[in-house]
Structure 1
């Protein structure tokens, strides 16, 4: 998995005024929780670093004024349009301690039910919550859907996971379904043909 490193500074003060000033300077307010520390640490990171972390499920190494803090991304809060990041929450990890995080599902292949049986692929779940040790966080979970026929479904329990990783979602939850598409009635087809 790609190593992500960020530079951060301690953030002085809180509130909307401080946050607006940071954003004008190209920075983003953030906070680090956990790590056995009694209080959260308010920090500021470069706003441009959002690109590096928004789809990253693994460890993030934050250089906080010379002190390395190893974290995972917990949340990015956006404006009401969902296009401008406003605040980031990190959770500091303790190696050897099981953590909970979210991992993206990558689907590979085209279902035979779509290619040959006029089926339609419906995706219901694009990421899952997992429990694992920090060093075992997978970058993504790869699921091959090429053998699915029309009418087939793939559930959480069908997702292959590396050793030491446990999915926390309900095993019976549908991840993808290849729906059977109803064919148009014959008389509608003949009307179309007649109009050509």
Structure 2
């Protein structure tokens, strides 16, 4: 997983009014859980940009008033109208396995695409469970043997030291047959 640091400040007051005041100051109310105790903190909105608007999975180093914790972004809440970030939940990385969505990366050339077919990506991310140090940046999926009308499924993918949680029959990519080639 890629790494990112977020610097935050502990929150003394919890509640709707205090959270609204924090957002007005350009801070995002957040919580870290999964370790010993919950830590409520706030961090500048700008620090979340690289974490949210990317398909990559990140291990986040939280620096909360000098206290360093490793975590992953578990959940986010957005405003329903203006789509601004309202709240972020972080899961602390411990010795327990974590569940992460990791992007899919295709490798190779498909004979079906060379013949005029179109590669359609059905699954953009694969859900993995394992220790944080074993989670890869992306999952490589080979499309070398895909001909027209064929699919590559989750069952055909193997990732070392982690468990794939998606249904094994789920297609990751398919080579669609164009209309001009269907009659042949």
Please say whether Structure 1 and Structure 2 have the same fold, judged by a TM-score greater than 0.5: yes
Tell me the residue number matched to 2:118: 120
Tell me the residue number matched to 1:166: 163
**Contact between 2:26 and 2:44, CA under 8 Å: does it hold in 1?**
yes
CA distance in 1, matches of 2:27, 2:182: 59
Compared CA separation, residues 28 and 131, structure 1 to 2 (3 A): same
Query: Could you tell me how far 1:81 is from its partner in structure 2?
Result: 4.9
RMSD over aligned CA atoms reads 2.3
Compared CA separation, residues 82 and 90, structure 1 to 2 (3 A): farther
- Spell out structure 1 runs of 4+ moving beyond 4 A: none
Structure 2 residue ranges without an equivalent (≥5): none
CA distance in 2, matches of 1:155, 1:36: 39
**Contact between 1:120 and 1:180, CA under 8 Å: does it hold in 2?**
yes
Tell me the residue number matched to 1:62: 62
**TM-score, normalized by length of structure 2?**
0.86
Tell me which structure has the larger Cα radius of gyration.
1
1:113-154 alpha-carbon deviations (Å, 9 max, x no partner): 1232x3222222111211111211211112232442111101
Compared CA separation, residues 85 and 108, structure 1 to 2 (3 A): farther
1:171-196 alpha-carbon deviations (Å, 9 max, x no partner): 1111111122222899xxxxxxxxxx
Query: Could you tell me how far 1:47 is from its partner in structure 2?
Result: 0.6
**TM-score, normalized by length of structure 1?**
0.81
1:22 counterpart SS class: helix
Structure 1 residue ranges without an equivalent (≥5): 187-196
**Contact between 1:104 and 1:141, CA under 8 Å: does it hold in 2?**
yes
